[in-house]
Amino acid sequence: MTAEAQARKARKEAKMQARRAQLALSRQDHGGPLAWRGWFDGSAHPNPGKLGIGALLLGPNGERIEVSESAGYGSSSDAEYAALTAVLQAALAVRPPPVQLLLYGDSQVVINDVLGTTPVGAKGLETQRATVVALLEQFNEVSLRWLPRHRNGEADRLSQLAITGWVEKD
């Protein structure tokens, strides 16, 4: 087997391991009675272009916090990271702080980057990753999970609303 073929095989195996790790995470407990749940999504129109972020944070007693904001210019990954940062900041502002925080997003790039399930971090996103990791460390119990786009509708709606509002202001 050539060196190139071995490298391809190693990359394929690394992808499979990351996928297995992601599936294992998705099968874990979905939180206790005191868990806060958050969904986040970012949009870039075009990509790269104007960014909109959306986040929804739901508390165990019916609390509801929505974030829908323009976030400058950049790529869709920049938008996803900005949305994750926003939902984490919203959770940090909750009093008393969440005992358990379950976060969901539809960007495999960002979630895998934060969880470190890929051998090499996403290029150009090092600063955003460091910010998110620092925020995550402020929680006692937090999980981050990928979900399909069709199950992230509220966060997507909020991110699109931010883009629409921004475009109309121009």
CATH number at residue 123: 3.30.420.10
Q: Could you tell me the CA-to-CA distances from 57 to 10, 52, 84, 125, 150 in Å, in that order?
A: 39, 17, 11, 24, 18
Number of structural domains (the chain) is 1
**Sign of the dihedral defined by the CA atoms of residues 21, 22, 27, 31, in that order:** positive
- pLDDT higher for 169 or 114? 114
3-state class (DSSP) for residue 66? strand
Tens digits of per-residue pLDDT, 29-60?
Answer: 468 889 999 999 999 999 999 999 999 999 99
Q: Tell me whether residue 81 is in a domain.
A: yes
Q: Tell me whether residue 120 is in a domain.
A: yes
Separation CA 75–CA 44 (nearest Å): 6
Strands (E), 18-156: 35-45, 49-58, 64-74, 100-105, 142-146
Tell me the residue range of the domain where 70 lies.
36-169
Q: Tell me whether residue 61 is in a domain.
A: yes
Cβ-based neighbours of 147, under 8 Å, separated by 6 or more: 26, 39, 104, 105, 106
- Does the pLDDT value for residue 25 go beyond 80? no
- Does the pLDDT value for residue 13 go beyond 90? no
Share of the chain above pLDDT 90, in %: 68
- Does the pLDDT value for residue 22 go beyond 60? no
Tens digits of per-residue pLDDT, 115-144?
Answer: 988 777 778 899 999 999 999 999 999 999
- Does the pLDDT value for residue 26 go beyond 60? no
Q: Tell me whether residue 16 is in a domain.
A: no
Tens digits of per-residue pLDDT, 84-106?
Answer: 999 999 999 999 999 999 999 99
Q: Residue 62: what pLDDT? A: 94
Beta carbons within 10 angstroms of residue 97's beta carbon: 13
Q: Tell me whether residue 5 is in a domain.
A: no
**Sign of the dihedral defined by the CA atoms of residues 126, 146, 75, 58, in that order:** negative
- Identify whether the C-beta of residue 145 lies closer than 8 Å to the C-beta of residue 102: yes
Q: Residue 36: what pLDDT? A: 96
Q: Tell me whether residue 118 is in a domain.
A: yes
Q: Tell me whether residue 17 is in a domain.
A: no
